[in-house]
């Protein structure tokens, strides 16, 4: 293995870090970062994509030579664990970062799922997978009394209703019922690989892109009522958000917003909602100072 021949470039160690090793001081964060870059760069001269074992070995050597400067320590200067875990992890992270988008040097070849793009070229894509918090990502059973054909009929029906009646029809009981029953059909389309574009989703499931359609779908997907959850979050965190912005005394835009009477609350009749609504407005207002929200 190349690691047995590898020579750590001690001569390239930053002067201030060298001084720290001589005096037994901890490495300054910037020196530590700089040193990691130097070491990884040297490793990559012999191996473009060093694996974890290689990073472990190098970190072990560095820590064994200068333990008081590099080893994992607690506040009482006692070594934590193997002592070189953090440095090894950071070296590996640096390797991964440098190798971002470097397809040729991957240790594991990615699963190939080719997708032809508009310009005719093919590219590999990863399918979307079950994500944290979902309880109904890819349902398997169609609702009782339904078939694939009946679900497709329902989809066509509600798409036609959208065409004639518009998005407000989302509140109609028959639309609600069909949206609920076709949830499995919606999920299978959304989870397909390559994933559908927004335009395709809009064409197939126009009501899904209404506020109610999204909220209902989200609730079935995660079991969470997003409207209730946002309201609760604003209740509990709104005051804290305002406190934060009140400390931003240098930003005149924020202070101007704080000084304004609250005319932005969508539920102005409820005094209890004010901290949350004001906090949310400030949060978004701050974003809008710098960039558009897409």
Residues that bind DNA (CB under 7 A): 30, 33, 36-37, 49, 51-53, 89-90, 92-94, 96-97, 99-100, 106-108, 110-111, 126-127, 129-132, 250, 289-291
The least CB distance from residue 37 to DNA, in Å, is 5
Spatial CB neighbours of 21, under 8 Å, sequence gap ≥ 6: 13, 66, 69
Of the two residues 112 and 266, which places its CB atom closer to DNA in the complex? 112
Nearer to DNA, 89 or 204 (CB): 89
Q: Give backbone dihedrals phi and psi of 6, rounded to 5 degrees, phi first.
A: -70, 135
Please, are residues 163 and 201 in contact by the beta-carbon 8 Å criterion?
Answer: no
Q: Which is nearer to DNA, 30 or 228 (CB)?
A: 30
Residue 166 Cβ, how far from DNA at the closest point, in Å? 32
DSSP state, 77? Answer: S
Residue pair 78/95 in contact (Cβ under 8 Å)? The answer is: no
The tokens for 23 are 């005096």
**CA 17 from chain center: how many Å?**
35
Which one, 197 or 269, has the nearer CB to DNA?
Answer: 197
DSSP code, position 196: P
Beta-bridged to residue 115, according to DSSP, are 123
Q: What does the radius of gyration of the chain's CA atoms come to, in whole angstroms?
A: 28
Q: CB-wise, 22 or 53, nearer to DNA?
A: 53
Rounded least distance, CB 59 to DNA, Å: 12
Give whichever of 37 and 188 is closer to DNA, judged by the CB atom.
37
Residue at token pair 């960039």: 291
Least spacing, CB of residue 278 vs DNA, in Å: 21
Residues in the chain: 294
Question: Residue 32's closest CA among 22, 46, 21?
Answer: 21
Listed as own residue / partner, the contacts of 18-21 with beta carbons closer than 8 Å and 24 or more positions apart are 20/69, 21/66, 21/69
Instruction: Show the tokens assigned to 162.
Output: 């959208």
Task: Quote the least distance from Cβ 121 to DNA, whole Å.
Answer: 17
Minimum distance of DNA from residue 137's CB (angstroms): 9
Nearest to 44 by CA among 78, 80, 91: 91
Minimum CB distance to DNA smaller for 274 or for 280 = 280
Least spacing, CB of residue 112 vs DNA, in Å:
10
């Amino acid at each position: 293995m190349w690691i047995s021949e590898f020579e750590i470039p001690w001569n390239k160690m930053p002067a201030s870090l060298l001084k720290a090793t001589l005096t037994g001081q901890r490495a300054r964060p910037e020196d530590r970062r700089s040193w990691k870059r130097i070491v990884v760069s040297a490793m990559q001269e012999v191996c473009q994509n060093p694996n974890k074992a290689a990073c472990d070995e190098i970190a072990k050597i560095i820590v064994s030579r200068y333990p008081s400067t590099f080893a994992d320590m607690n506040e009482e200067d006692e070594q934590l664990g193997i002592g070189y875990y953090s440095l090894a992890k950071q070296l590996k992270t640096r390797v991964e970062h440098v190798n971002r988008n470097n397809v040729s040097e991957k240790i594991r070849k990615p699963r190939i799922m080719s997708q032809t793009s508009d310009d005719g070229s093919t590219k590999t894509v990863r399918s979307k997978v079950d994500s944290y918090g979902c309880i109904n990502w890819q349902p398997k059973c169609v609702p009782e009394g339904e078939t694939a054909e009946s679900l497709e009929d329902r989809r066509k029906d509600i798409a036609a209703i959208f065409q004639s009646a518009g998005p407000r029809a989302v509140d109609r009981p028959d639309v609600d019922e069909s949206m609920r029953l076709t949830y499995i059909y919606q999920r299978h389309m959304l989870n397909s690989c390559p994933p559908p574009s927004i335009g395709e989703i809009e064409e197939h499931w126009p009501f899904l892109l209404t506020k109610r359609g999204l909220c209902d779908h989200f609730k079935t997907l995660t079991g969470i009522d997003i409207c209730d959850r946002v309201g609760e979050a604003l209740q509990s965190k709104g005051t804290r958000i305002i406190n934060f912005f009140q400390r931003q005394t240098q930003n005149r835009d924020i202070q101007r917003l704080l000084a304004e009477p609250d005319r932005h609350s969508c539920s102005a009749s409820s005094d209890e909602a004010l901290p949350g609504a004001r906090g949310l407005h400030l949060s978004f207002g701050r974003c809008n100072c710098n960039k558009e929200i897409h």
